[in-house]
Amino acid sequence: MSVNEQTAVNEPSDASRAARKKVKHGIIDCDVHPIPKSMDQIRQYLPKFWKERFRGGGRGLFYGNPSHGMRQDSLPPDGGPAGSDPGFMRKQLLEANNIKTAILIPRENSCQFPDLDYGNAIASAYNEWIADTWIGPDDNHDGIFKSSIVINHSDPASAAKEIDRWAGHKHFIQVTTDSGARFLMGHRNFHPIFEACSRHHLPLALHPGLDGIGINILPSPGNPSHYIEWHTCMSLSFQAHLVSLLTEGTFERFPDLRIVLVEGSSTWLVPLMWRLDMEYKALRHEIPWVKKMPSEYLRDHVRITSQPLERPNNDEDFMDMLRMMDAEHLLMFSSDYPHWDFDNPKSAFPKLPEKLYNRIFFENAEEFYGL
């Protein structure tokens, strides 16, 4: 058989090409929350000194959803809170929506405590719990669950040690921490965390939850009175952190650092970057370590997830916004399962061009995480 004949035999037919096109590529969901069945699951990993003290925690006392924080149809049939059963999550979220990879972001709430050792112990316990259960051999035989190393950013040196501890685990693919903080994220206080993330080639994901809780500072001049205020303004801290990272020269100092902004909405990015670039043109002499327009750092260093997705009444306006924010390269799909404002991958977006759909729903995450 000639080389040409052999090539012709190996090439797929038109029919097989068409069949291949019909196969829907699996989605990568960049924000899925695993929930402990009870606090006893976490307590078993805490040193004896902390076991009796641990009660969980978070913002519920101040800014909890007044109705319910979880999807009411996501309670596992065998009991436990929403998001606590890997098997049920596989059926309800992954299989029902053709999701090939779920990136888990535990909500350990470790960054709120004045006692830094206590916060460190909680973060460590959550990482051990995730490693033994959700991404362990029993619940993750196919590797469909990837997870985040949670850290207490209030103690950056210890946070860096926690990153070093887990960075070699093949199913931990990023580091995550709260947007609620005492310093803006570009502050040199966080350099040990950036060094550890860069050393292990792990993105750092910021997630809202503890803004204004415990020792953390709100990005607003005062305290919101209601959950609706707090939840609407979640994006304010993301905007402040991003401007800080860009103007402090973080990505010049740490050229391998990658940042993911999770669950802080996304369309604010457009006017914010317009304004920051405008300010930079006039004030760049103040920050000579920033070598190029702030918006030019985004494609190499920053990704933003889609949920909660602001959806105007006019889909054409929405498509214009996606174009202006460079969603083709910066936006990654997230559902926020099992929270009440879950974004269904089948209906959250209007009908997208195939190329843009592929970029948002799996290609951007594949490239950024190396999946």
pLDDT digits (tens, 9 = 90+) for 198-247: 999 999 999 998 999 999 999 889 888 998 998 888 899 999 999 999 99
Confidence class of residue 24 from pLDDT cuts 50, 70 and 90?
low
User: Is pLDDT at 313 greater than 50 in this prediction?
Assistant: yes
Helix axes 156-166, 191-199, angle to 10 degrees: 10
Residue 196 main-chain phi, psi, to 5 deg: -65, -45
> What CATH number has the domain spanning 24-369?
3.20.20.140
Is a pLDDT exceeding 90 seen at residue 195?
yes
pTM: 0.91
pLDDT exceeds 50 at position 16: no
Ordered strands of the 302-305 beta sheet: 27-32, 99-104, 145-150, 172-178, 204-207, 259-261, 302-305, 331-332
Residue 61 pLDDT grade (very low, low, confident, very high; cuts 50, 70, 90): confident
pLDDT the model gives residue 6: 40
Residues 193 and 158: their CA atoms lie apart, in Å, by 9
- pLDDT tens string 117-166: 999 999 999 999 999 999 999 999 999 999 999 999 999 999 999 999 99
The span from the CA of 238 to the CA of 264, in Å, is 7
Q: Give the Cα separation of 277 and 266 in Å (integer).
A: 18
- Return d(Cα 325, Cα 331) in angstroms, integer: 9
pLDDT, the chain, mean: 91
Give the position of tokens 């999807």: 71
pLDDT in tens, 64-101: 888 778 888 889 999 999 999 999 999 999 999 999 99
Taking Cα atoms as reference points, which of 228, 220, 126 lies closest to residue 177?
Answer: 126
Domain regions of the chain by residue span:
24-369
Q: How far is residue 121's CA from residue 47's CA, in Å, rounded to a whole number? A: 8
Predicted local confidence at residue 319, as pLDDT? 96
* pLDDT surpassing 70 at residue 172: yes
